[in-house]
């Protein structure tokens, strides 16, 4: 697991002080966020905090509150999603439960007010106005282009899935009871104001969502009000609750979440299975049978524990000497489930080979590298008896934005597979800004041209 999270602080001396920006007037000028690169985008999102400072002092450790007097950024945030946007979306077949939840926190408990079937805007508005209910819209990046643009950049930056929810809460109301999440959370305040209370985690870097009883919370470690243009970050496990102050307009905020099931423990579960597979192929000790009746015993014997410890040490030694990609399933799942690259048109150009056909004397480089993963795993198309290892390149160019982060929706893996003998040539292309096809580490010129052509046909390679 990553390092333990520190308590959120007291909100007084020693707590994480709010970070304020100089006031800046709105202008009809450029976008206040930098979309030139994933790193540049993230730094502009948390500005004026520097990225190095964020990861050294806040990430997985304690909350960060950035309160800004920036009218241009506030206007940009407000345009990301408004209460009035729901009317148009309801005409696109939104369903209760799948797309929208309607709820309210009553005496510390969540009361769900969902109806059956499709969402009708007039009913939704009545529940909002008369029952003081919070409207939660799941994964709005499926419908709003600018949220797709933001989250696609963040998925490239973190190398992890990035989901979102919009919460719209009327004045004097609270949607959810105190709880903590299993994700890293960034809150963008879009409309109105939201009053937040944060409490130190009872489970540092929690691996599961959980409610917390109000009477167990004590005093908040941090208490503040977000206004349009403000940003809040807190690590997974941070207990929190939020309400819209009475006497004000409604509040709309966007919750952006990432790093679910992305801990060292999760990575080990993925990587160790591949190491064990390789070891069992090459070392007869790993293929030897376990002792008779081992599975019938209540506790592992001393001899069994000693054998397992020895196998783990052998795996550790093998790990030190390998240069092959370790993760397989996590990489594949990420590539299958993430957003496709953002585009302003119909997306056809992403999946259409462009430019010259690669030849032996061509200089080539990768396209859409931020949307590709390379891994080595047993042949997914072979039989169980002949699971030869292959090199796989998965990509997200053909992923469907409409199913992003929807869980139960079917997803499909897109990519290519190559013999294991191609792994060094693929690494050459991966690690080079540009490379000659003839210089690829393959036995024949035909193999070199064939590899380049396969990548080009999949829209993953271009001739410089």
In a domain, 26, yes or no: no
Q: Are residues 400 and 284 in the same domain?
A: no
Q: Is residue 30 part of a domain?
A: no
19 lies in a domain? no
How many C-beta neighbours within 10 Å does residue 216 have?
10
Same domain, 209 and 297: no
**What is the C-alpha radius of gyration for the chain, rounded to an integer number of angstroms?**
26
Which pLDDT score, from 0 to 100, does residue 411 have? Answer: 76
Mean of all residue pLDDT scores within the chain: 91
Domain boundary among 258, 273, 301: 258
Task: Tell me, yes or no, whether 369 and 309 share the same domain.
Answer: no
Here the CATH number for the domain that contains residue 238 is 2.60.120.650
Share of the chain above pLDDT 90, in %: 81
Query: Which residue, of 233, 258, 283, is where some domain finishes?
Result: 258
Q: Is residue 69 part of a domain?
A: yes
**Per the structure, how many domains does the chain have?**
3
**pLDDT confidence tier of residue 313, bands split at 50, 70 and 90:** very high
Does some domain include residue 32?
no
Query: In terms of domains, do 215 and 291 share one?
Result: no
Q: Which domain holds residue 278?
A: 265-321
User: Quick one: pLDDT at residue 383?
Assistant: 56
Residues 365 and 438 in one domain: yes
Quick: pLDDT tens for 145-183.
999 999 999 999 999 999 999 999 999 999 999 999 999
| Cα–Cα nearest to 229, from 248, 249, 246, 253 | 253
Average pLDDT in the 430-444 region? Answer: 97
* pLDDT given at position 185: 98
pLDDT in tens, 66-122: 999 999 999 999 999 999 999 999 999 999 999 999 999 999 999 999 999 999 999
Residue 428 is assigned to a structural domain of this protein: yes
pLDDT of 3 reads 33
| Structural domain contains residue 10 | no
- In this prediction, residue 352 has a pLDDT band, given cuts at 50, 70 and 90, of confident
Whether 275 and 225 map to the same domain: the answer is: no
- pLDDT tens for 42-63 read 999 999 999 999 999 999 999 9
Residues 288 and 429 in one domain: no
pLDDT of residue 385: 56
Supply the CATH number for residue 333's domain. Answer: 3.90.930.40
One domain, residues 132 and 175? yes
**Does residue 186 carry a pLDDT above 60?**
yes
Is 315 in the same domain as 413? no
Q: Are residues 269 and 378 in the same domain?
A: no
CATH of the domain at 285: 1.10.10.1500
Q: Quick check: 12 pLDDT over 90? A: no
Residues 425 and 289 both lie in one domain? no
Q: Is residue 88 part of a domain?
A: yes
Q: Report the pLDDT value the prediction gives residue 15, as an integer from 0 to 100.
A: 44
219 and 350 together in one domain: no
258, 278, 300 — which closes off a domain?
Answer: 258
pLDDT in tens, 94-103: 999 999 999 9
């Amino acid at each position: 697991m990553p390092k333990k999270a520190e308590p959120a602080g007291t909100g007084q001396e020693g707590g994480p002080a709010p970070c304020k920006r100089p006031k800046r007037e709105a202008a009809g000028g450029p976008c206040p966020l930098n979309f030139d690169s994933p790193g540049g985008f993230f730094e502009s999102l948390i500005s004026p905090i520097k990225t190095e400072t964020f990861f050294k002092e806040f990430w997985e450790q304690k909350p960060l509150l950035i309160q800004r007097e920036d009218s241009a950024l506030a206007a940009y945030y407000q345009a990301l999603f408004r209460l009035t946007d729901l009317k148009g979306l309801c005409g696109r077949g939104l369903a209760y439960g799948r797309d929208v939840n309607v709820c309210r926190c009553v005496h510390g408990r969540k009361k769900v007010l969902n109806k059956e079937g499709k969402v009708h805007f007039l009913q939704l508005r009545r529940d909002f106005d008369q029952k003081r209910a919070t409207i939660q819209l799941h994964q709005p990046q499926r419908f709003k282009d600018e949220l797709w643009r933001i989250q696609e950049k963040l998925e490239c930056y973190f190398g992890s899935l990035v989901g979102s929810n919009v919460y719209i809460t009327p004045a004097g109301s609270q949607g959810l009871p105190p709880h903590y999440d299993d994700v890293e959370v960034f809150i963008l305040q879009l409309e109105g104001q939201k009053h937040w209370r944060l409490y130190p985690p009872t489970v540092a870097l929690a691996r599961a969502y959980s409610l917390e009883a109000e009477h167990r919370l004590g005093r908040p470690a941090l208490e503040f009000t977000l206004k349009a243009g403000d940003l809040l970050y807190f690590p997974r496990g941070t207990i929190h609750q939020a309400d819209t102050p009475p006497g004000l307009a409604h509040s709309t905020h966007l919750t952006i979440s990432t790093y679910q099931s992305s801990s060292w423990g999760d990575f080990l579960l993925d990587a160790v299975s591949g190491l064990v597979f390789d070891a069992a192929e090459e070392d007869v000790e790993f293929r030897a049978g376990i002792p008779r009746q081992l599975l019938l015993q209540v506790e592992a014997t001393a001899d069994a524990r000693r054998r397992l410890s020895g196998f783990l040490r052998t795996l550790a030694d093998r790990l030190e000497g390998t240069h092959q990609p370790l993760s397989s399933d996590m990489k594949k799942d990420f590539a299958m489930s993430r957003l496709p690259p953002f585009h302003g048109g119909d997306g056809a150009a992403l999946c259409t080979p462009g430019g010259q056909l690669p030849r032996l004397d061509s200089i080539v480089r990768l396209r859409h590298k931020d949307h590709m993963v390379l891994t080595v795993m047993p042949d997914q198309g072979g039989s169980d008896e002949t699971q030869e290892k292959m090199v796989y390149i998965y990509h997200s160019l053909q992923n469907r934005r409409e199913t992003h982060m929807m869980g139960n929706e079917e997803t499909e893996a897109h990519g290519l597979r190559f013999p294991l003998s191609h792994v060094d040539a693929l690494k050459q292309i991966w690690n080079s800004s540009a490379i000659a096809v003839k210089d690829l580490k393959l036995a024949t010129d035909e193999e070199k041209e064939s590899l380049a052509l396969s990548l080009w046909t999949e829209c993953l390679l271009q001739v410089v």
